[in-house]
Structure 1
Amino acid sequence: MSPLREVNRVYVCNCFGVTEAQVKKHAEDGACTPRQIASACKAGTDCGSCVRRIQALLGRGACPRRELVDQGEPAMEPLSDTRLPEAA
């Protein structure tokens, strides 16, 4: 990668080194909420200072399926249920 390209990176999440381009790519792949972005790349799961920036990126049309989410349809397949089974 050229040094010029590295200088132009805009980091959204400094804790995990996630760039604006990566957030947009995850949004294009269907992640339309900060929680789904966190699931895809960990952004927003440490100090949390980037969550508002992620929300702003998603709110600016980075998510092509935003209309579906606004209508109550899921943008991605739900995460698997990780709860422990209830005791009998």
Structure 2
Amino acid sequence: MNRVYVCSCFGITEQQVKQHADSGACSPRKLASACKAGTDCGSCVKRIQALLGRTATPVARPAAGQLAVTEEPMAEAA
């Protein structure tokens, strides 16, 4: 049997991703909770999204009256 690894950090194969998806881990976040795939270096996240039939992970929107927190650096003062 030829194994195709998706996440080399945790040794997760395509077959394992599909098995987790069949068991209910149908988003990258749920898959990460199930087997840690995509939680270390992150190089497999796009492949995981493709295997799960997703092209992008939805961005959470803040509720009305709440501020959004970003990780973008602030511009330096001149």
Please give the range of the TM-score, normalised by the shorter of the 2 chains: 0.5 to 0.7
Q: How many residues align?
A: 54
Structure 1 match to 2:62: none
- Work out which structure has the larger RCO, using CA pairs closer than 8 Å and 6 or more positions apart in sequence: 1
Q: Which runs of 5+ in 2 are unaligned?
A: 55-78
Match of 1:46 among 20, 35, 40: 40
**SS of corresponding position for 2:6:** strand
Structure 1 match to 2:17: 23
Per-residue CA shift, 1:43-81, capped at 9, x if unaligned?
Answer: 000000000000000007xxxxxxxxxxxxxxxxxxxxx
Structure 2 match to 1:56: 50
Identity over the aligned pairs, expressed in percent?
Answer: 80
Q: Which of structures 1 and 2 has the bigger CA Rg?
A: 2
The structure in which a higher percent of residues are helix is 1
Normalising by structure 2, we get a TM-score of 0.67
RMSD: 1.1
Structure 1 match to 2:6: 12
Q: Which runs of 4+ in 1 moved over 4 A?
A: none
